[in-house]
Chain A
């Protein structure tokens, strides 16, 4: 679906009024938003293919905002998180930041502060999303390589010369050159530098 690539602000807060008002605010600046009354509800419908950012209440009954952050990082999500905290939750917010949250904002806040943070997060989300997409693309290219081609690629990326590779793998230098050409073709790499860049992104 075309819509699914438009970045979405996911609002997760157990307080109906706060959640609804955040939706209203995000909607008033024309951003696409979806609301969830609990961390679990968000997790259940979470699709990592969809870009956006998460506006997350740090304290919620059941699964807390911090718990959700843990669960998302476990599944390798790159969704940027803006935590909303109440008075006196700063230590929790610090913990969240240490674990990679983009930002936190203390209630009650100025609308511009939140919208600025959302914009930054969306941008960051877009970048990470693009990087992730690219990494996935590279990974799928790696998937088309044979076992032997993968070994050769790893050694090329590690800076070994064809001659060394041939000795290490017990192949003729000519065969290594053929494998190398196949790798460059399958990975759609024009130069060695291209290949190295792709390999580091896949391995991330």
Chain B
């Protein structure tokens, strides 16, 4: 274990001290003992008699001294060992009981030690992990990233770093983690040990995922109800090409039966039949896309195209309500990276609301205006302006809350869903009151850089 390698830095010094003190006292004794004896005793026979005991005195004195020195040192040492043990226990406890998973690796990425949180996180015991490469438990899609970082670290280019990755638990579920890595250098100054702390983001990611799925389900419900509200317009939109197809086909049949068929006219009728069949197909394609229950998928899109498609769907319904939709497109491509269906849904919601508001509004001007523009060079703004009675302060506060509605029919989901869709796209949805009459709803989306031509 890492902590086993901690040793006392002063272990050789007490022996040296004892030897030094012994040597100095011995040397002093050799040099001075005779002189001191002759100064203290003048009588030679007495000196000769005492000389024979002097050796014993030296042995006794140094014996006492060495006992004293070694005993003191042993006490110091024992105390130090005790402190060291305490610190070791403290560190071990901290390491073992830390709520965060802590792991040490060698520079080849093999496990050296793991704490309990790490064992719990990965579902393996310490024995199972020791000596195993981190790659064994890393999600295969993230292994390359981790490997690259480890190599930079081994070269010494990276001392501490943080990244997000996925691991695979022993029971095979995916773990989302944020890893904080730090390197420890060995005696040669080169990185030798990697200490990793893994923050478990799995629950957060799961909660985010659930929130997203919840939003998608609600969005789908909203789309279906939106289409229900527009059903009359949609039926008309499909009925038009069907009527045309039936007329062209009947005309062609009559020409053939009349036996005076002009091939050019026949050909024209047949071409038109095919063209109108595609037109009907296109309406159905747009509808299918809207009612499709799928996971959110983001792609490049031109906001002008999204608006045009939505207006095509909403215009017929608007006409039934005797409301006209005018569109003012920004003259150029407005490239964004979005879920096409969801953004169309937001536009449809705003158009539907604006048509309803304008229809029941007091004015003669029965026109809804939709506009696209660029704001501050980094945002696309879509505005939908109505000619309704406007929004009161009390309504304004609750406008984006779920199940708030001022309409007789409708669930009151549209604006709330639209709000969360736009937020999820990093944009903003709000409304302003028109100076003359009615309300304008605006939303922004971040523009994809460098792609909008003037």
Contacts and interface: CB of A to CB of B under 8 A. Distances in A.
The yes or no verdict on A and B being binding partners is yes
A17 B254 contact: no
A18 B247 contact: yes
Contacts of B75: none
Interface stretch (A24-32, A152-160, A162-170): A24-32
B272 A108 contact: no
Nearest to A107: B243
Interface residues of B, number: 29
Interface string B267-306: 0110010011001000000000000000000000000000
Interface residues of A, number: 21
A22 interface: yes
A191 interface: no
B258 interface: yes
B241 interface: yes
Interface stretch (B231-239, B374-382, B425-433): B231-239
A111 B246 contact: yes
B243 A18 contact: yes
A21 B272 contact: yes
B367 to A, nearest CB: 11
Interface in B292-343: 319-320, 324
B242 interface: yes
B239 A111 contact: no
Interface in B218-265: 232, 235-236, 239-248, 250-252, 254-255, 258, 265
Interface in A53-108: 59, 61, 86-88, 107-108
Contacts of A86: 235-236, 239
A28 B258 contact: yes
Contact of A22 (B247, B265, B268, B279): B247
B251 A20 contact: no
Interface of B is mostly: helix
Given A22-B247, A28-B258, A88-B232, A17 B276 contact: yes
A24 B255 CA distance: 10
A156 B235 CA distance: 61
Given A24-B269, A24-B272, A111-B247, A18 B240 contact: yes
Nearest to A84: B243
Interface string A22-49: 1011011100000000000000000000
A17 B324 contact: no
A28 B244 contact: no
A131 B268 CA distance: 40
Interface string B16-47: 00000000000000000000000000000000
Given A17-B276, A17-B279, A21-B244, A87 B239 contact: yes
Contacts of A22: 247
Most chain A CB within a 10 A radius of its CB, from B244, B246, B319, B324: B244
Contacts of A194: none
A88 B234 CA distance: 12
Nearest to A87: B235
Contact of A21 (B247, B254, B255, B265): B247
21 contacts: A17-B244, A17-B276, A18-B243, A21-B248, A21-B276, A25-B247, A25-B250, A27-B265, A28-B250, A28-B251, A28-B254, A28-B255, A28-B258, A28-B265, A87-B236, A87-B239, A88-B232, A107-B239, A108-B239, A109-B246, A111-B246
Interface of B: 232, 235-236, 239-248, 250-252, 254-255, 258, 265, 268-269, 272, 275-276, 279, 319-320, 324
